[in-house]
Amino acid sequence: MTAALHHYQARMQRVLDHIDQQLDAALDLETVSGIAAFSKFHFHRQFRATFGLSLLHYVQLARMKQASHRLADKDGPSVTQIALEAGYDAPDAFARAFRRRVGQSPSAFRKSPDWAPWFAAFAPLDKARSMLMQTPIRQEDVMIRTMPPTPVAIMEHRGDPATLDATIERFIAWRKRAGLSPLTSPTFTIFRSERCPANLADYSIDLCVGTDQPIVETDPHMKAGIIPGGRCAMLRVTRHTHDLEAPALYLYRDWLPASGEEARDFPIYCQRHLSVRKDGSGHDAVADLFLPLAG
């Protein structure tokens, strides 16, 4: 990747970061284009060429996805409040738009979300977020680390990945109740299956938070466990941490054969870091991807 292209993509990434942080606020063309220091007269075309969606469509999808997460929280704001925060002047206009997008009314979704059409509805947004290419990975970017055993609380997700967001919502709610902030308690994801297995029922990941506090045996969602210690190949991902497929593929396809190492009998996993920006404007996400090694 040339320095010029990297700089261009970094400017576009600033735009996505700003949109994500300001979904509840007005997002006008002049402000958004100024974030990336692009001319407002060309920005619409630049945005569509980069992400495959117009700026308006992208913002609408992002707001609707955020609204759906708030609806899925049965103890969250009212439908009317969610509609206003999503940029709609009236709940009925929001309800029509939500039904067109997701296939359920907001009240029906809050009562019993149908995650399969939801997953399909927001696929264009996920695809757009992945359009900025990863910085090419080099062999020297991978480091070998000896990791200590880590006690964790585990929430398992088994089955259709379309329902993963519901599991994530339960996981976030549990760790909030337990007082385990992502700023102070490490977050891990253990990938026990392919991202897209031939049979979606075989999809399997574990959501984990580092803690040695006891888990109530009757807890229907959480259990105690340990991420075993040992040697690991570690690759740090600082952009697009929501999609680790490409860096994981690099570790398996390129790094592992060239290294002479052997993979250990434990799944690939990642640790997600969240840090407050120096200017206080939000948080930066970093993911360390670990491939367990034998020996």
For residue 172, give the CATH number of its domain.
3.20.80.10
Q: What is the pLDDT of residue 60?
A: 93
Range of the domain at 28: 3-129
Same domain, residue pair 147 and 274: yes
Q: What is the pLDDT of residue 71?
A: 92
Q: Above 70 in pLDDT, residue 272?
A: yes
Same domain, residue pair 122 and 233: no
CB 249 within 8 A of CB 231: no
Q: What is the pLDDT of residue 280?
A: 47
- Counting the structural domains of the chain, the total is 2
Q: What is the pLDDT of residue 135?
A: 60
Same domain, residue pair 57 and 86: yes
For the stretch 20-67, pLDDT in tens is: 889 988 888 899 999 999 998 899 889 998 888 999 999 999 999 999
For the stretch 97-152, pLDDT in tens is: 999 999 999 999 999 888 878 888 998 888 888 776 556 788 889 999 999 999 99
pLDDT class for 4, splitting at 50, 70, 90?
confident
Same domain, residue pair 108 and 252: no
| Percentage, residues of the chain above pLDDT 70 | 94
pLDDT class for 282, splitting at 50, 70, 90?
very low
pLDDT class for 72, splitting at 50, 70, 90?
confident
The Cα 224–Cα 213 span in angstroms is 9
Same domain, residue pair 74 and 166: no
Q: Above 60 in pLDDT, residue 91?
A: yes
The Cα 260–Cα 61 span in angstroms is 45
Q: What is the pLDDT of residue 240?
A: 66
The Cα 46–Cα 127 span in angstroms is 17
Q: What is the pLDDT of residue 291?
A: 96
pLDDT class for 198, splitting at 50, 70, 90?
confident
pLDDT class for 288, splitting at 50, 70, 90?
very high
Same domain, residue pair 162 and 112: no
Same domain, residue pair 147 and 279: yes
Same domain, residue pair 269 and 176: yes
- CA 200 to chain CA centroid, Å, is 19
Same domain, residue pair 208 and 99: no
* Rama region for 282: left / alpha / beta (φ>0; ψ in -120 to 50; rest): left
CB 82 within 8 A of CB 106: yes
Same domain, residue pair 10 and 117: yes
Average pLDDT over residues 67-78: 87
- The verdict on residue 150 lying in a domain is yes
- The verdict on residue 288 lying in a domain is yes
Please identify, among 63, 94, 129, the residue that sits at the C-terminal boundary of a domain: 129
- The verdict on residue 50 lying in a domain is yes
Q: Above 60 in pLDDT, residue 284?
A: no
| Percentage, residues of the chain above pLDDT 90 | 53
- CA 52 to chain CA centroid, Å, is 20
Average pLDDT over residues 252-262: 92
Q: What is the pLDDT of residue 115?
A: 80
For the stretch 209-228, pLDDT in tens is: 999 999 988 888 899 999 99
- The verdict on residue 134 lying in a domain is no
Mean pLDDT of all residues in the chain?
A: 88
Q: Which long-range contacts (CB under 8 A, 24 or more apart) does 21-26 make?
A: 21/281, 21/282, 23/59, 23/62, 23/63, 23/66, 24/85
